Amino acid sequence: KVYWGYIRLLQHALFKLPKDESGTLFRGIKLDWPGAPSLAEYRAELLRKQSSGEEEIWWGFSSTSTSLPAVRRFLGEHGPRVIFTVDGGSSARDVRRYSAFQDGAVPENERLLPCGTAFVVRTAEIVGDGLVMANVKSVHRAGAEQQQQQQQQQQQQQPWG
């Protein structure tokens, strides 16, 4: 609850940015934190969600990229890793102007997904040593984004103070 104000502020600001229409997005995660599931366990959970139709929800703000080489570079070549391919449009916003990683041989081309973004899992395949490629499709909830826009319009009409 302490952070709710900051989360709401960031979410509100994020929705003021133009929606990204660049197509496929990529997100890489390393399963190397304390208590992380094994790659097999993580893949099994994705496959369970695929077969049951349960949504995969990313509750935090999620950094993504339009560049698969940038995601591969971020993940490295070793350890348990998952690369998500996000298809079907999304509510991502282009945050390249605010990203610190745009210089170099492989620019990040960062897009940020709002918290609570939901997906359906289409595939989760082992493609190499310690790497799973998962394909997900955004679940569009027209009501959520429309409600956010209505709230923004109401706040703009209300005097501050």
Phi, psi of 94 (to 5 degrees): -75, 115
For position 129, what pLDDT does the model report?
A: 86
Q: From CA 136, how far away is CA 20, in angstroms rounded? A: 17
- The yes-or-no verdict on residue 142 having pLDDT over 90 is no
Beta strands in 50-104, from DSSP E residues, in sequence order: 56-58, 62-65, 81-87, 93-94
Beta-strand (E) ranges in 11-116?
A: 25-30, 56-58, 62-65, 81-87, 93-94, 110-113
Q: Pairing mode, if any, of strands 93-94 and 110-113?
A: antiparallel
What would the two tokens of residue 146 be? Answer: 């429309």
**What pLDDT does residue 148 have?**
53
What does residue 90 show for φ and ψ, rounded to 5 degrees? -160, 180
Other beta carbons within 10 angstroms of residue 52's beta carbon come to 9
Task: Give 55-108 pLDDT, tens digit per residue.
Answer: 999 999 999 999 999 999 999 999 999 999 998 667 899 888 887 766 666 678
In whole numbers, what is the pLDDT of the chain averaged over residues? Answer: 86
Predicted confidence band of residue 160 (pLDDT cuts 50, 70, 90): very low
pLDDT at 21: 84
Averaged over 24-52, what is the pLDDT? 96
pTM of the predicted protein model: 0.82
Q: Which two tokens stand for residue 118?
A: 């939901």
d(C-alpha 6, C-alpha 115), whole Å: 12
Three-state DSSP state, 146: helix
pLDDT at 161: 39
The predicted pLDDT at position 57 comes to 94
Say how many CA atoms lie within 13 Å of 26 toward its Cβ. 19
Q: How far apart are CA 16 and CA 18, in angstroms?
A: 7
pLDDT per residue as tens digits for the range 110-131: 999 999 999 999 999 999 889 9
User: Given a cut of 60, is residue 159 above it in pLDDT?
Assistant: no
